[in-house]
Structure 1
């Protein structure tokens, strides 16, 4: 019997959530489709109805994580009562809060996207989903005179790529596991963002400084 069309996204999400749990438990490279099938109770045919490969599951997981982040951030971006600087500060704070809540899985993805293939997919997906939100704040800031850039969308694109491209650095593990290196990285990132927008770097924080 064919599955109802409106049940497809629900079951796909269910399978994706189970697969993410397996990736965390065993590690992505060690996890197999059979592990996912055993944990989910799905048949192999049912699995391939939703995903063509384990790699496609990972890509979908990256996109889902970014979708969740955007859903979490969008109310701040669209809040008509907030000025651009307040939106910017809150955007950075909420981004940090979201990442902290998803820290374990984000750390796993961070290791995986050091692969050129996955890093490219991640950066492209992040740009498509997050740049328009960030650009909206920057544009408002330019109009209010608090940000000093010529091209809000292009500036947002560059900054988001800088931020999300960090896991691709060969020094990523050192940044994450050495407090002093992490501090220097975060201060440097804050300086880049502040310098680009033309604001004081002491007015905001990045991640969980």
Structure 2
């Protein structure tokens, strides 16, 4: 029987897809390399040709999800027709509208048993989205709607804080408590940006946060 030879990018994508499904169903810690290999139908040597470890697969999955979300955000940030406030609202809204596959992985990352995935995504969020949003804040400075001396550091602190407050339910907020804290967070953002009160009201009225 002739052996099927697949392109490297196809084989790598298949392994990632299988690993992502296993991580979602069983959790990262409960999934072994042997199980990924067996489910994907590849030799262990093939796995190690593409990935150094299970953690390397995890990083690749996070990069994949983060890259897709960042691509959407960067397109919004580059839109010359939008103002800074509109861009920030649109970028936040775009993250709520990610595809089903991405949403499944993101939701799974928020489960306590998948903290490894969650923490890696948090790092990517602060690093990648911080840089994108910083350029929008700089635009807002030029437009006169913001007054932020250090856009990158400011937005990275905000992103890191929001990830801790709302990630994997560590505080066990009730829906009402979570809503109250999101409203408070928007108020803090407006003050940190020196933006007019109510600048980001659309984020709550349109249920984007």
Q: Would you say same fold, with TM above 0.5?
A: yes
Residues 44-123 of structure 1 correspond to what in structure 2 (within 5 A)?
Answer: 44-98=44-98, 102-111=102-111, 115=115, 121-123=120-122
Report the 3-state secondary structure (helix = DSSP H, G, I; strand = E; otherwise coil) of the residue aligned with 2:38.
helix
Count the aligned residue pairs: 200
CA separation of 1:38 and 1:120: change in aligned 2, threshold 3 A: closer
In structure 2, which of residues 176, 182, 186 is the aligned counterpart of residue 186 of structure 1?
182
CA separation of 1:126 and 1:57: change in aligned 2, threshold 3 A: same
Residue aligning to 1:39 = 39
State whether residues 119 and 165 of structure 1, in contact with CA within 8 Å, keep that contact through their aligned partners in structure 2: no
Residues 146-183 of structure 1: CA distance to partner in whole angstroms, max 9, x if unpaired?
A: 11211222222222222334427731xx24xx322321
**More helix, by proportion:** 1
Q: Distance in 1 between matches of 2:79 and 2:94?
A: 14
Residue aligning to 1:204 = 202
7-16 vs 48-57, which deviates more? 7-16
Q: Distance in 2 between matches of 1:105 and 1:118?
A: 9
27-36 vs 117-126, which deviates more? 117-126
CA RMSD of superposed structures (Å):
2.8
74-83 vs 193-202, which deviates more? 193-202
Q: Distance in 2 between matches of 1:16 and 1:74?
A: 25
Structure 2 unaligned blocks of 5 or more: none
Q: Distance in 2 between matches of 1:65 and 1:84?
A: 25
TM-score of the aligned structures, taking structure 1 as reference length = 0.81
Residues 91-129 of structure 1: CA distance to partner in whole angstroms, max 9, x if unpaired?
A: 1211222288733321221235875x7666444332332
Structure 1 unaligned blocks of 5 or more: none
State whether residues 142 and 148 of structure 1, in contact with CA within 8 Å, keep that contact through their aligned partners in structure 2: yes
Residue aligning to 2:145 = 146
CA separation of 1:146 and 1:187: change in aligned 2, threshold 3 A: same
State whether residues 99 and 106 of structure 1, in contact with CA within 8 Å, keep that contact through their aligned partners in structure 2: no
Q: Distance in 2 between matches of 1:84 and 1:208?
A: 17
Report the 3-state secondary structure (helix = DSSP H, G, I; strand = E; otherwise coil) of the residue aligned with 1:28.
coil
